[in-house]
Amino acid sequence: MFYEPDKKNHGLPHNPFKSICVPRPIAWISSLSKDGVLNVAPFSQFTNLSYDPPCIVFSAGGFRGGLKDTVRNIWETNEFVVNMATWELREKVELTSQPVEPDVDEAKVAGLEMIPSRLVKPPRIAASPVQMECRYHSCLQIPGNHEPHYLMVGRVHGVHIKDDMIGPDGKLDILKIRPLARLGYLDYTSVESFITMVPTGPNVEAQIRGLSGTPQPSTPVTAK
Ligand SMILES: Cc1cc2nc3c(=O)[nH]c(=O)nc-3n(C[C@H](O)[C@H](O)[C@H](O)COP(=O)(O)O)c2cc1C
């Protein structure tokens, strides 16, 4: 089949577009309004944008002619935390996606314990195994047929990883973490297996360095 999204001529019962770039990790974002009201919401149009400097990007649609609370909060306060969503936390992730009034604290709605961040004011989700403390960098606004989309870039200034989620080899134990990811429709998946592929190119060492993270002497790990 072939279809042109602008013509909406896919002829299928559901728009297939969101099922194409899959699986998508979920940024479970905590932010504070300028009056200090906590907001938590999931965003699967999300990825890391660069690693040096470490930046992430997520995109949020407009909402009823205005902004989603997450976007407004980040514009007002400059700070947010990306908490990793996991299979175990899936029901709480969904609960925090409900459209509620800006003065409602979704963490309370979902029964989430929040703990302080180190560098930014918005707190982190205690149960999430990995949290990234971010500051707003920039936004690209993309006009839509109904609402615009806001592509929000954040720079990562601090990363928390639960010690028991790091394996004896010093790598994130991704099967233990079991990150949650969005498919299309109402479907989700999680990471339950992986394979390791060793590069075979002419400059294998450089390739390995790039893919696996530069093996520089690391600075001492600070306390949690
Ligand atoms: C798993 C999941 C992923 C989502 N991803 C996005 C997304 O990438 N962009 C978006 O605009 N909304 C997304 N949503 C919907 C928002 O979470 C929802 O609109 C939420 O109410 C926004 O909250 P806020 O107004 O408190 O920022 C997603 C919902 C779920 C359950």
| Distances in whole angstroms, Cα of residue 168 to Cα of each of 23, 163, 172 | 27, 11, 9
Question: CB within 6 Å of ligand 1 — which residues?
Answer: 26, 39, 41-45, 59-61, 68-70, 93-94, 97, 99, 182
Q: Identify whether 49 is part of a domain.
A: yes
- The pLDDT tens digits for 174-202 are 999 999 999 999 999 999 999 999 888 88
Q: Identify whether 10 is part of a domain.
A: no
Give the H/E segment covering residue 136: strand 130-142
Question: How many angstroms does the Cα of residue 86 sit away from the middle of ligand 1?
Answer: 16
Question: How many angstroms does the Cα of residue 209 sit away from the middle of ligand 1?
Answer: 35
Question: How many angstroms does the Cα of residue 114 sit away from the middle of ligand 1?
Answer: 19
Residue that the structure tokens 């996991």 belong to: 86
Q: Is the peptide bond before 102 cis (omega within 30 degrees of 0)?
A: no
Question: How many angstroms does the Cα of residue 167 sit away from the middle of ligand 1?
Answer: 32
Q: Quick check: 218 pLDDT over 60? A: no
Q: Find the largest Cα–Cα distance for the chain.
A: 57
Write down the mean pLDDT value for the chain. 94
User: How much is the pLDDT for 104?
Assistant: 87
Atom number in ligand 1 closest to CA 61: 11
- The pLDDT tens digits for 109-165 are 999 999 999 999 999 999 999 999 999 999 999 999 889 999 999 999 999 999 999
Say what percent of the chain tops pLDDT 70. 95
Q: For residue 195, give its domain range.
A: 25-212
Q: Which of 36, 41, 34 is nearest to 81 (CA)?
A: 41
Q: Identify whether 126 is part of a domain.
A: yes
Per the structure, the count of domains in the chain is 1
Determine which residue's CA is closest to atom 9 belonging to ligand 1. 60
3-state DSSP assignment of residue 106: helix
CATH no. for residue 143? 2.30.110.10
Q: Identify whether 222 is part of a domain.
A: no
Q: Identify whether 174 is part of a domain.
A: yes
Q: Identify whether 51 is part of a domain.
A: yes
Q: Identify whether 1 is part of a domain.
A: no
Q: Which of 180, 181, 192, 189 is nearest to 86 (CA)?
A: 180
13: number of Cβ within 10 Å:
7
